[in-house]
A and B are shown apart, each in its own frame.
Chain A
Amino acid sequence: MTSMLNPLKKTELVGFLVVAAVILLILPAITDAFRLNMVGKYLTYAFVAVGLVLCWGSAGILSLGQGIFFGLGGYCMAMFLKLESSTPEATSIQSTPGIPDFMDWNQITELPWFWEPFHSLTFTMLAVILVPAILAFVIGFAMFTRRVGGVYFAIITQAIAAILTILIIGQQGYTGGVNGITDLRSLLGWDIRTDSAKTILYFVNAVLLLAVIALSLLVRHSKLGRILVALRDKEDRVRFSGYDVAAFKIFVFCFAAAISGIGGAMFTLQVGFMSPTFVGIVPSIEMVIFCAVGGRYSLIGAVYGTLLVNWGKTTFSESFPELWLFAMGALFIAVVMAFPNGLAGIWNSHVQPLVKRLSKRTGERQAAPAETPAAIAE
């Protein structure tokens, strides 16, 4: 489990390469453009799940409000795209041309001040990361310096997710309300609705996800990563070893929020709209389930967990739409009761020993035993 000499274990590297091959080569090869776009959408949730592995798995901070950060990232991107498609020419039939259509429907005659900076793509890209991170900092500072943790923290994040949804729905003129920000067409003149654009965005998303996983692996293998595990276990001991525990918790919460924001922005680009359904309590809890199914200690398991649950959701909800939510609930209970370490745990405790035994047997005949993709878990 631990790595005294070798900071990044070989098995972990292999696991990373396998997941890279799966999302860059195998999935594009076996799916058509429509399904690939759907997989791309699922993979945007994996950003959130990866953040949860660090936040919940490593540091023991369970947030039931990660949809907040996913949504904020998504809304930032949607605001930019909406402004781009709301040129005065394209919106000439409105009573106020040049502002987004839903503002016009809500009798707003001037672009609100906080929309103005989203004319700039550079600003938008920064905002995708910084807006979630800043909100996470505010929440984290308020909670962690007061030593609010555990279930209380989870409930508060859930409440904030609910508040943000209500706020977005209520401020229809500024946010597009319950419909969200829709009808997004192009990014700097590049039509994002075509099949080829969607395929390119899939790969951009995949590369970003891999980069985020690589960065998270580095964080986890730094001393900071070990301090997070230490404070999950014995917070007081960390404090009385001279660390400001709250600062470390704020950091990991902000980090998870920032990468969730990237996921949200990629969601908007690939799906073409953003709405409050991706912000609230239900999506936030679903994201925790993705993480739990994958194995909350495993960065790479988070990707498989997200893909598997979403694949299940799509397949089941196509045939039995009413049953899906029950199935999802049952899945969560089953994972928590029977496999608390998720897919990664099953891999480590059942598959890996089997593969090792087999490879040992063949290894006696061949000189080099095959290395297995055993790095799903820590």
Chain B
Amino acid sequence: MSEPTDFLLAVEALTVSFDGFKAVDDLSFYVDPGEIRVIIGPNGAGKTTALDLICGKTRATSGSIRFRGKELTDMKEHEIVHAGVGRKFQNPTIYEDLSVFENLEVSFPRGRSVFGALVFKRDAEVRERVAEIAEMIFLTDHLEDRAEYLSHGQKQWLEIGMLLIQDPELLMLDEPVAGMSGSERIKTAELLHKIIEGRSVIVIEHDMKFVEDIAHKVTVLHQGRVISEGSMAHVQADPKVVEVYLGH
């Protein structure tokens, strides 16, 4: 192993146990700046839990997560966001009662304290940034609509947009194309190719075609542990992976 500080994200010996059940067990992996890492694995492998641990939603039992050399395991959720980690949830998690514009505006990284939010001004910078992101996520024509009226795919894009406006250095996406129609999938792949420039991305995905298309490196989890890691070709050829996952 090279010097851990070279990595954008270094996860080492990470373990979390729920009443004795180890959802993530001695997990280690490293993400380089600008890398797209895809995590695959059968249901219950601990993929989502691993993301929960990184973003602070779940607290680790032991082990360490360092982001640009900073330990994340004892930071609060919003501090982890401020450090530059963004997280998209599996189900589209957006504010249904607000407009698309307001959804993006609330995610704009300024005025994050109580006082800051009170005096926050919707200035030209905010409008421009919102317009720019809306165009990327194909929602320019829907800015004034209440978010609850968007389609499932549009909601997924909106949440991705809400993360993009924060401009995180590490973006974590949990099944970004799940439940999308064929044409939406193609557009999402296009969107992801656009947004991964200049940042690292961790993606959980089941769609193998999609994974092959975007992944630099694939990590395969099974029962909370890494069983294989490397290029898609390497992983697909690994007999252990075939046995637990691809063979099914």
A interface, CB within 8 angstroms of B: 1-2, 4, 7, 219, 222-224, 226-227, 229-230, 232-234, 236-245, 247-248, 251
Contact = CB atoms under 8 A, between A and B. Distances in A.
Given A236-B57, A242-B78, A4 B112 contact: no
B77 A239 contact: yes
A255 to B, nearest CB: 10
Nearest to B107: A241
A251 B116 CA distance: 13
Contacts of B95: 229-230, 233-234, 237
Given A2-B144, A4-B101, A243-B117, 20 more contacts: A1-B99, A1-B146, A2-B102, A4-B99, A4-B144, A7-B122, A219-B118, A222-B120, A224-B114, A227-B106, A230-B95, A232-B97, A233-B95, A234-B93, A236-B89, A240-B77, A241-B81, A241-B162, A244-B76, A244-B113
A244 B78 CA distance: 6
A4 B130 CA distance: 12
A224 B118 contact: yes
Contact of B98 (A229, A239, A243): A229
17 contacts: A1-B99, A2-B99, A2-B102, A2-B144, A2-B146, A219-B118, A222-B119, A224-B118, A230-B95, A232-B97, A236-B57, A236-B93, A237-B93, A239-B78, A240-B55, A242-B109, A244-B78
Nearest to A242: B81
Interface string B76-104: 11100110001101000111111101110
B245 to A, nearest CB: 29
B105 interface: yes
Please indicate which of the listed interface residues B86, B114, B120, B146 has the most CB atoms of chain A within 10 Å of its own CB. Answer: B114
B179 interface: no
B227 interface: no
B44 interface: no
Contact of B81 (A226, A229, A232, A240): A240
A237 B111 CA distance: 16
B143 interface: yes
A227 B101 contact: no
Interface of B: 55, 57, 76-78, 81-82, 86-87, 89, 93-99, 101-103, 105-107, 109, 111-114, 117-120, 122, 143-144, 146, 159, 162, 166
A224 B93 contact: no
Contacts of B81: 240-242
Contacts, number: 96
Contacts of B93: 234, 236-237
A227 B117 CA distance: 8
B118 A222 contact: yes
B219 to A, nearest CB: 22
B37 to A, nearest CB: 19
Nearest to A232: B97
B113 A237 contact: no
A251 B114 CA distance: 7
Contacts of B86: 240
Nearest to A234: B93
Contacts of A223: 105-106, 111, 117-118, 120, 122
A243 B77 CA distance: 8
Contact of A241 (B99, B101, B122, B166): B166
A234 B78 CA distance: 15
Given A236-B93, A241-B81, A248 B114 contact: yes
Nearest to B168: A242
Given A224-B117, A226-B105, A237 B166 contact: no
A360 B119 CA distance: 38
Contact of A226 (B77, B96, B106, B143): B106
A245 B146 CA distance: 23
Contact of A233 (B96, B111, B114): B96
A242 B82 contact: yes
A239 B87 CA distance: 11
Contacts of A243: 78, 112, 117
Nearest to B145: A2
Contacts of B107: 241
A216 to B, nearest CB: 12
A140 to B, nearest CB: 12
Contacts of A242: 78, 81-82, 109, 112, 166
